[in-house]
Amino acid sequence: MKNIRSLLNGLVPCAVALAMATTLTAQTVTQVKAKVVRIKGYARFSTGNNVWQNLKVGETLRAGTIIQTSLEKGSFVDLVLGEPNTIAAGPAMTKRVAYQPAGTQNIVRLWENTLMGVDKLTAMDSGAGEVTETELDLKAGRLLGSVKKLTAGSKYQIKLPNGMAGIRGTVFSIGADGSCKVSSGAVVIALVAADGSVTPQEIRAGQGFDPRGEPGSQMTPLPPSEIDIMGKLTKDIMTGIGSAPVSFPLDPTIHTISISPH
């Protein structure tokens, strides 16, 4: 994993970050949190010692938290990596919730049967803009994300069971198996092969990557319909921008799900 980190860091532009290093060390690093803005189905979280709690809308999650979604198809959890503008509950708090996130926030949707850790969420005012570091650990399953354009020195990385991905200002979908689709921006993935070699792969807007494919056929163009679906899903997560908060139903059904040791 250390080799993957080094490789990925070398792929991401860092000249400006190095030039700012002296200035940044004098700044205060703030630990930011992820906020749960929508849940469909059942989900739970743990902050350690394999102690699990039901996940609820409006909950804030710090670095070190692991989140797991239900096995039920169509279930998901939406997170805003930072505080949303408003979180408002309708009359029936246990049945419906509403939210209105800001359009410039980083968002992520964990699909069903997904296990993800929030390893690092920090922000720092460099004087020339906010420098952020985001590290997620996608242990199983799949997620959809929308990342705003990163400032110089900022990082957004996703650990995978067999590698790591570096995210740039992007709308993307990525699986724990290393498969990735990008509708805007770019993602750099470095996966460890069976022989121990590490090969970086850049997936650009309109491309899909599947490491399970034969060499030469792993990268394919995304059909316009799939790009459109990704855009609509992202817009759905961000529903409410510039308008009154919109309410969404919650599925109260509780499902029992098992954890694989990681």
Task: Give per-residue pLDDT as tens, 150-166.
Answer: 888 999 999 999 999 99
Kindly state the average pLDDT of the residues 14-30. 51
- Whose tokens are 């803005």? That residue is 37
Query: What gap in Å lies between CA 231 and CA 236, rounded to an integer?
Result: 9
Query: What gap in Å lies between CA 85 and CA 185, rounded to an integer?
Result: 25
| Weakest mean pLDDT among 83-97, 174-188, 197-211 | 83-97
Question: Measured in Å, how far apart are the chain's first and last C-alpha atoms?
Answer: 15
pLDDT confidence bin for 180, thresholds 50/70/90: very high
Identify the pLDDT of residue 10.
54
Identify the pLDDT of residue 213.
87
Q: What is the Rg, in whole angstroms, of the alpha carbon atoms belonging to the chain?
A: 18
Identify the pLDDT of residue 257.
36
Kindly state the average pLDDT of the residues 45-69. 96
What is the per-residue pLDDT across 196-239, written as a single tens digit (0 to 9) for each?
Answer: 999 899 999 999 999 998 887 899 999 999 999 999 999 888 87
Residue 76 has pLDDT above 90, yes or no: yes
Residue 17 has pLDDT above 60, yes or no: no
Please count the CA atoms within 13 angstroms of the CA of 247 that sit on its side-chain side. Answer: 11
Q: Name the more confident of 22 and 51.
A: 51
Residue 195 has pLDDT above 70, yes or no: yes
| Average pLDDT taken over every residue of the chain | 80
Identify the pLDDT of residue 233.
92
Kindly state the average pLDDT of the residues 176-197. 95
Query: What gap in Å lies between CA 79 and CA 57, rounded to an integer?
Result: 9
Identify the pLDDT of residue 9.
56
CA 239 from chain centre, in angstroms, equals 18
Residue 92 has pLDDT above 50, yes or no: no
Domains in the chain: ranges and CATH: 2-244 (2.60.120.1440)
Residues 247, 251, 257, 261, Cα dihedral to 10°: 0
Identify the pLDDT of residue 4.
53
Residue 141 has pLDDT above 80, yes or no: yes
